[in-house]
Amino acid sequence: MNAYAVKKNVSSDKIIVADDMMLTVDMPTTAGSKMLDGYMSLLESEALTRLKAEGYVLGGKADVGEFAIDLLGETSSRGALFADGALKNAAAQIVASGEASAAICLDANGSVRRAAAQSGLISLKPTYGTVSRYGVIPVACSGDTVSILADNTDTCGNIIDVIAGHDAKDGTSLSDELCSKLKKSAEYSPVRRVALLTSMTDGIDADVKAKLDAAVEALTKSGVEVVSVENEIIASARPAWNVLMSAELCNNVSRYDGVKYGYRAQSFNGIDELYTNSRTEAFGDLLKTAIIFGSETLSTENYMKVYDKCLRVRRVIVEEFAKIFGEFDAILMPTCSSLSYTEEQIANNRHLAFEENFYTAPASISGLPAVVAGGVQLVGSAFTERALLTAAKIIAKEGR
């Protein structure tokens, strides 16, 4: 069962669903992991609390891949969700079916954006620090962003209007003054010039190419100038993000030890075996691989050579983005290489999420906002969500 605990008899046009990275007090939160099977939190995600205060109703939870680092949810302890031979994301399925008007999800490694692109939905990954991470299971804290999935840009705009804002409970939360730039009332400059980042189109299939072409055509028809731009440095975000994400993940999941909460192995001999057996039995393969990789990048031997290098590469990438935004209002690029992943693809490459994030890592590592519409992705400079959503509306209308 991939969408679970959906409350019945809820009548509201403001029904939302939360993915299973968002802590909820009246439903379990599992992060898609056997480690947290049945876990009931005492805390609630700040984003959900703010939405409830504005009349939104939490209709239920949607399953995620284990700690949200996979493609679309295939590593969940409940199993992958396939339909018509293609891998599906639970939150996107719920929103696409109309059971909820939107989903609030954690974008840690691009799964929300891939889900939007492959389901014909809209997603908004806001500027890092504008939506509180309080009450969200941490994965890669320096990039984790509470994001929105909906079937139209207006709903994304309405929800970000509610959830963006300073929260003293989150040490990385930005000031209300900065967050107010995301509000509906904020003035913004519309998108007039877009850079089509051709160095990010490597490996895309014909369907994705067609989506990009349709987006370019829609934008051009509406008077937006689209110019092809090459930038190999931004295209190198993936390996750097894989290092930073895995290192932070490795630290964040070290808290799961089978003592205070979560899964405990039935059989062990001594405290070390309790830890080892609990983690070995509860964690899935991709998570274990990422933990081992992240841990190695933080070792004495590799810290400066690998981890420190990636922190410096992050600054180089941010500076490259700034150069482009000196000339353009937004960057257009693919969200994924293909509009569907088959069961065979998943079986043949268990690390595909760490390759497919080629398209999502640039916005993750730089904390920039990204809106997915019509299967493609628009990335803007910080706090340009309103402008991106307006441009996305043009693409969604013409490109889907």
Binding site for another protein (CB under 8 A): 39-40, 42-43, 127-129, 142, 168, 171-172, 174, 233, 236, 238-240, 242-243, 250, 254, 257-264, 268-272, 274-277, 279-280, 283, 285, 288-289, 291-293, 295-296, 306, 308-316, 318, 350-351, 354-355, 365-367, 382
To another protein, the closest distance from the beta carbon of 320 in angstroms equals: 10
Give the residues across from 105 on adjacent strands: 147
To another protein, the closest distance from the beta carbon of 351 in angstroms equals: 5
Nearer of residues 113 and 238 to another protein, judged by Cβ: 238
Nearer of residues 144 and 151 to another protein, judged by Cβ: 144
Q: Which phi and psi angles does 12 have, rounded to 5°?
A: -165, 140
Give me the amino acid identity at 324.
I
- Exposed/middle/buried for residue 84 (C-beta within 10 Å: 0-12, 13-18, 19+): exposed
To another protein, the closest distance from the beta carbon of 136 in angstroms equals: 16
To another protein, the closest distance from the beta carbon of 15 in angstroms equals: 28
Closest CA to 241 of 400, 364, 94: 364
CA Rg, the chain, in Å? 20
Residues contacting residue 28 through CB under 8 Å, at least 6 positions apart: 5, 36, 37, 38, 39, 40, 61
Closest CA to 241 of 327, 323, 306: 306
To another protein, the closest distance from the beta carbon of 143 in angstroms equals: 8
Closest CA to 375 of 194, 193, 197, 209: 209
Structure tokens at 355: 């390759």
Nearer of residues 56 and 241 to another protein, judged by Cβ: 241
Nearer of residues 270 and 326 to another protein, judged by Cβ: 270
Nearer of residues 60 and 258 to another protein, judged by Cβ: 258
Nearer of residues 293 and 325 to another protein, judged by Cβ: 293
Closest CA to 338 of 125, 71, 19: 71
To another protein, the closest distance from the beta carbon of 102 in angstroms equals: 25
Give me the amino acid identity at 170.
D
